[in-house]
Amino acid sequence: MSAVVDDLWRLRSMTSADLPQVLDIEQVSYDFPWKRGIFEDCLNMGYACQVLTEGTSAIRGYGLMSAAVGEAHLLNLCVAPICRRSGMARYLLGHLIEQARQRDAYIMFLEVRPSNRAALMLYRKEGFTEIGRRKGYYPTLNGREDAIVLSRDIE
């Protein structure tokens, strides 16, 4: 399924053929990026894996979400650095929330680094609230960083 955001953006399901571009974005976005195998596992498990393209085929962002027994978990949401602050992340998030709803989820969870202020601001604007912390969840260049656990009811 493909959704048109505007004349240039298109949202569609991720495929294995997309992984080189997805991994390029992942590498430049994180100090500790996901490896190819994690993306492959998500695809093989049937998770909601979406890519946002601009123009004919350039992938500019992606999102992955699992959903089971009424709960959804946003696993990864990332937009290429050159496209940040464009609305792409908000659009991807909204689409994944809708997919969670279609999969009969009533709540969505996610973890985010406290140092990722832009992501925190986006999630809070989209109705997510803090429900806890996972101590030392994320690796950093100098040790470990907590994760803020957020949730949002899905109407």
Q: Is 123 a catalytic residue?
A: yes
- Which member of 71, 111, 126, 145 is catalytic? 111
pLDDT tens, position by position, 26-75: 999 999 999 999 999 999 999 999 999 987 779 999 999 999 999 999 99
- Which member of 47, 91, 123, 138 is catalytic? 123
Distance CA 9, CA 41 (A): 26
Distance CA 8, CA 96 (A): 20
Task: Kindly write down the DSSP assignment for every residue of 8-22, as one continuous string.
Answer: SEEEEE--GGGHHHH
Could you tell me which residues come within 8 angstroms of residue 37 by beta carbon, excluding any fewer than 6 positions away? none
Distance CA 33, CA 31 (A): 6
What pTM value is reported for the model?
0.91
